[in-house]
Chains A and B, each alone.
Chain A
Amino acid sequence: MSNGANAIGRRGLLGGAAAGAAILAAPRIAGAQAKVIRVGMPTVLSGRVAILGTSSRTAVQYAFSRMNEAGGFGGRTLQLVERDSKGRPDEAAKVTRDLINNDGCEIIIDGEASSGGFAVHEVVRDLPVLCVHTNSETSSLTADPKLHVKTAFRCARQGIHDAVAGGVYASTISKQRGLKRWMTCSPDYAYGRDNTAEFLEFARLYDPAIEVVDQVWPRLFAPDYTENITKALQVRPQAMYSALWGGDLVSFMEQSNLYRLFPNVALFSSSLGDPPVLTAIKQLPPGLHTAYRYNRTYPDKPDNTAFADGFAGLAKHEPTNWAWQNYVACQFIGEALKRTNGRTEGAALAAELKGMQISSGLAVDEKLTMRESDHTLIGYPTAWGRTVPKAPFVEDFAPIAWSQILEMETQWKKQKGYA
């Protein structure tokens, strides 16, 4: 130990440490008091699924501009700070920490797909700002109590809801048309396999006569599906379920069209209803069955049409499934900020969001609910419809009662040990 004139004493050390901590904390304190509320958004802005991030970002920008024009919250306006995670979970976690610690973001809108969403979820466990997951459809994120984070919510459709709705719809059609022989064609990764298994589980629950005669698993982002299509020609199923999505689904449809596959096989798709997919397919066969992803004509409400027009004015294309989820997330956050008069502490906003109901053009009935028990959205459209070759591309939406979805979800949670 030094006893020299310049030696730092214990009190000096403690004082210096306190001063240093105050300086380091200053940006966050300053951020909390700033007029602008910075909202961070980790999302995928590059690569093959960039449209997930770009349409999410546009939806948030559109929502924020409307809220700011309306006067903001307690004199404060909203500003979006987005970061590209490139679809990598490690990068998603890193940019989320940066957004909170370095960019002074007081709220996180997590625009990651499922893999990144779980990474962001764990960051928010450590840094408890309000986080709303807007694009992860994996049910366990909010259904598994072990993963529960007090300040994290999900404003997105989720797999189990879609599986029940799909099972109810598909079994109704299969009974009507006698579709017994089924085949599946889904991407070979966790989402594709889980989604397909859940769909089949509920479809067979409601129609035990359904028999799965074959399953093919093309790899994610495969450029060519010819071998899978010609296999379907050999197997000759009466119906096919596919969890392919995005550009993969577009390629699969165009290549299937060459073989005239779908006039002879009834297709049930989880993702065909997304407007960018529908518009990218040059020859959309009529009568294909698809889950609702987004459609400006459903729910048939003026607020929905206004959202579609406003979004399309900015993005130059129709809203995606991710777009409406992010727009609705902003509506929930806006309502929470209104109730806290612009206060952004994670706990305060979370307390407001629990069980919150908002009127929305995207609600099946009048209101969308952020369910208190597991912090997840319910009441959104889960209908299935049939394709038509021209806009609006999907019509005859058949809604599935939410009471039925919730009943089956409760049973599913018990089976999984979540309830």
Chain B
Amino acid sequence: MATETIARAHDADARVVRTGVVRRLFRRVEVGAFIGAVVVWVFFALVAPANWLTITGVSRILDSASTLGIMAVAVALLMIGGEFDLSAGVLTGTCGLIAGMLATQLGLSIWPAMAVSLVFALAVGYFNGWMVVNTRLPSFIVTLATFFILRGANVGVTRLVTQRVLVSNIDQVAGFMDARNLFDLEFSLLGAQFRTSTIWWIVIAFIATWVLQRTRYGNWIFAVGGDAVAARNVGVPADRVKIALFMTTSVAAWLVGMMSIVRLRSAVASEGIGQEFVYIIAVVTGGCLLTGGYGSVIGACIGALIFGMARVGIVFAGWDTDWFYSFLGIMLLVAVLVNNYTRRRAEAVGIAAARARTEEEGQ
């Protein structure tokens, strides 16, 4: 009799759990962001076709999106791992200032200055992660504290050292051009100017996607973000994973900081402030859940791309940039709604199955 019961339950499975290609597609995390990106692209293609539909237009969008994209990749991993980093934006500034000041004030070549800056970034990431893991405080609070500490130190230390809020003449430092060629070289492709930062972005996104989807660490990232206790119970080293994620974010901030100083030949104490929310916007637009455990790197990259398109599109269209933030807000809202909708459609399969079972049990 028990055998029969189970057999019948499985018939129910066979009846409802049949996933079509469309449904599978809709289950992709990125689908909402992808649709959004297409809509924004088509929109500006209609509004400002002359500049938009050129290779130069593409290169402008990529320039605008690349450093944001690099941060979005790291922040996406962190958010999938269930944590935030509000200090990521200001840390890009801190890293640039440290490298810039060491190089210009101590007369170091650019490379050791950058190396020290990297060590500092890793330390900040470790500190954030260690605090979150050991105090069990929300990362929102811990990294907010870090944010304020760095924000103050950026201005305070820079003024102490340079008497200004700016480190300039970084381009006079030994090795500057090499660093520039590595981090932010411009090159011509199909008649438009692209930057190595775009290549960095693509490579980093590829590696991060691979790690997330195809390695055990990726599985652990999903797990610690979904339910750290459950993950720990099955032997995932949750604390180590989280600390590693914070450090990854810091390294990304360092990289973006280096790109910034070689491009701008200077470092400003206000660099990066407020950007942390832009990262989060890009990542959430890309389909990551704020609560963790769900999301994709590709989605975050598409989120950054949408942001880049919006920024360039508004200029090309000749609109009042006054409205940029409103546009951003609407975009975020629409993206999140679309994500919600697609996720529910994806889950409808399972929900239907569950409902069929409940009804059967009720009989």
Partners in one complex: no
